[in-house]
């Protein structure tokens, strides 16, 4: 479908997802991997982590609230792209309107940028906790947490709103097939006719604004933490706890930024379209899937929270069975 411009040119008002053209005969298997292997694991893992952090009072501290926020963002960003991918692979419903495409693009990039800012906040939280422990409660209070949340929403919303607005101003008069399975910014911009220098510059500015700013701050925060821990006259157990906590956060950050960097660089590499599409999917789904697994396995307080919830619910189920048992066979 086309829309006519005042100058007589025409622009596509809907687009088709290219998906995985080389895997047309294996779409059901691909769907199985994406559905069961990633998305269901993503939902179950992050929802379980949210349940534990919300139910256990001892986990209502800034660090765990940031982890809970990361879980919520992971669920939302996976849900943003999964319906279109599912419908495309299962029913070949691969058409999307320009408005729908821009909406999906905004929320995908907005939520991904939120994740980057949350990882930065986690690094700063650990920096204050380890390097300035006597001032931690004063610095990391509810007011600071609210201001950080507002800053995160404003930065991501304004930057991504500008990016999507520039993309929406383009005219698309050639192919309307997006070489992806969701509306990625550069995948859509590459279909535009006319000058796209502003859009490419805006895309580069977004990378600099988030990856170029957040990554160095995170890196120097953990370098400082490592320096303080090594110089401190703490016991071996305390040092191990600090290393273990920071190591868990670094594993999450490495996964996010490494997969993201490969995804951003893949268009400039000489790789098949299917591989580029797969990397774009993994950039969204892989960190969101492994985050709750890493936190659940490596964080002792969260593991204890899981056990506490299961014990309480197990006792409740046991008492319910005793109450409903026939007279003479159980206590009432």
C-alpha pair distances (Å), 120 with each of 64, 81, 88, 114, 178: 14, 24, 35, 10, 32
Q: Select the highest-mean-pLDDT range: 21-25, 157-161, 262-266.
A: 157-161
Q: Give me the residue label for tokens 């990016």.
A: 163
In whole angstroms, what is the distance from residue 322 CA to residue 17 CA?
Answer: 56
Residue 208, classified by CB atoms within 10 Å of its CB into exposed (0-12), middle (13-18) or buried (19+), is exposed
In whole angstroms, what is the distance from residue 54 CA to residue 263 CA?
Answer: 33
Q: State the Rg of the chain over Cα.
A: 24
Q: Compute how many other C-beta atoms are within 10 angstroms of the C-beta atom of residue 267.
A: 15
In whole angstroms, what is the distance from residue 299 CA to residue 294 CA?
Answer: 8
Residue 319 pLDDT exceeds 80: no
Tell me whether residue 313 is in a domain.
no
In whole angstroms, what is the distance from residue 148 CA to residue 314 CA?
Answer: 39
Residue 18 β-bridge partners: none
Query: How many domains would you assign to the chain?
Result: 1
Tell me whether residue 192 is in a domain.
yes
**Confidence label for 8 from pLDDT (cuts 50, 70 and 90):** very low
Tell me whether residue 329 is in a domain.
no
**Confidence label for 86 from pLDDT (cuts 50, 70 and 90):** confident
The pair of three-digit structure tokens given for residue 136, joined into one six-digit string: 């931690």
**The pLDDT of residue 5:** 47
Task: Give the structural domain span for 240.
Answer: 16-306
Higher pLDDT, 158 or 142: 158
Q: Name the least confident of 179-188, 193-202, 244-253, 268-277.
A: 268-277
Tell me whether residue 318 is in a domain.
no
Residue 308, classified by CB atoms within 10 Å of its CB into exposed (0-12), middle (13-18) or buried (19+), is middle
Sign of the dihedral defined by the CA atoms of residues 105, 106, 108, 110, in that order: positive
The pair of three-digit structure tokens given for residue 125, joined into one six-digit string: 């939280």
Residue 162 pLDDT exceeds 50: yes
pLDDT tens digits, one per residue of 240-264: 777 777 777 788 887 787 777 766 6
**The pLDDT of residue 154:** 92
pTM greater than the 0.75 cutoff: yes
Residue 150, classified by CB atoms within 10 Å of its CB into exposed (0-12), middle (13-18) or buried (19+), is exposed
Tell me whether residue 325 is in a domain.
no
**Confidence label for 80 from pLDDT (cuts 50, 70 and 90):** very high
In whole angstroms, what is the distance from residue 118 CA to residue 253 CA?
Answer: 10
Tell me whether residue 221 is in a domain.
yes
Tell me whether residue 257 is in a domain.
yes
Mean pLDDT (the chain) is 81
Q: What CATH number should be reported for the domain holding residue 212?
A: 1.20.1070.10
**Confidence label for 325 from pLDDT (cuts 50, 70 and 90):** low
Tell me whether residue 324 is in a domain.
no
Judge whether 252 and 287 are in contact, CB under 8 Å.
yes
The pair of three-digit structure tokens given for residue 273, joined into one six-digit string: 């379209």
Judge whether 18 and 99 are in contact, CB under 8 Å.
no
In whole angstroms, what is the distance from residue 251 CA to residue 273 CA?
Answer: 29
pLDDT tens digits, one per residue of 284-304: 888 888 888 888 877 888 888
The pair of three-digit structure tokens given for residue 223, joined into one six-digit string: 């370098």
């Amino acid at each position: 479908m086309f829309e006519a411009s005042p100058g007589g040119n025409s622009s596509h008002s809907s687009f088709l997802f290219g998906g995985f053209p080389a895997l047309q005969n294996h779409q059901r298997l691909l769907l199985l991997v994406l559905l069961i292997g990633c998305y269901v694991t993503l939902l179950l893992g992050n929802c379980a982590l949210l349940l534990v952090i919300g139910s256990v009072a001892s986990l209502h501290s800034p660090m765990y609230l940031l982890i809970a926020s990361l879980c919520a963002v992971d669920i939302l960003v996976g849900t943003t792209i999964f319906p279109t991918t599912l419908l495309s692979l299962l029913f070949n419903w691969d058409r999307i309107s320009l408005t729908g495409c821009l909406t999906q693009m905004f929320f995908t990039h907005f939520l991904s940028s939120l994740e980057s800012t949350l990882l930065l906040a986690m690094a700063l939280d650990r920096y204050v906790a380890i390097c300035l422990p006597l001032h931690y409660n004063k610095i990391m209070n509810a007011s600071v947490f609210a201001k950080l949340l507002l800053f995160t929403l404003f930065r991501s919303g304004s930057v991504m709103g500008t990016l999507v607005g520039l993309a929406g101003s383009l005219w698309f008069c050639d192919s309307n097939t997006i070489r992806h399975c969701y509306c990625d910014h550069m995948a859509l911009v590459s279909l535009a006719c006319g000058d796209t220098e502003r859009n490419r510059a805006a895309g580069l500015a977004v990378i600099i604004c988030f990856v170029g700013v957040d990554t160095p701050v995170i890196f120097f925060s953990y370098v400082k933490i490592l320096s303080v821990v090594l110089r401190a006259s703490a016991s071996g157990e305390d040092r191990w706890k600090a290393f273990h906590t920071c190591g868990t956060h670094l594993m999450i950050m490495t996964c996010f930024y490494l997969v993201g960097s490969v995804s951003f660089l893949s268009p400039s590499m000489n790789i098949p379209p299917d591989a580029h599409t797969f990397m774009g999917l993994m950039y969204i789904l892989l960190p969101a899937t492994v985050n709750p697994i890493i936190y659940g396995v490596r964080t002792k307080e969260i593991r204890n929270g899981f056990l506490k919830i299961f014990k309480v619910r197990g006792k409740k189920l046991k008492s319910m069975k005793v109450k409903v048992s026939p007279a003479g066979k159980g206590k009432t």
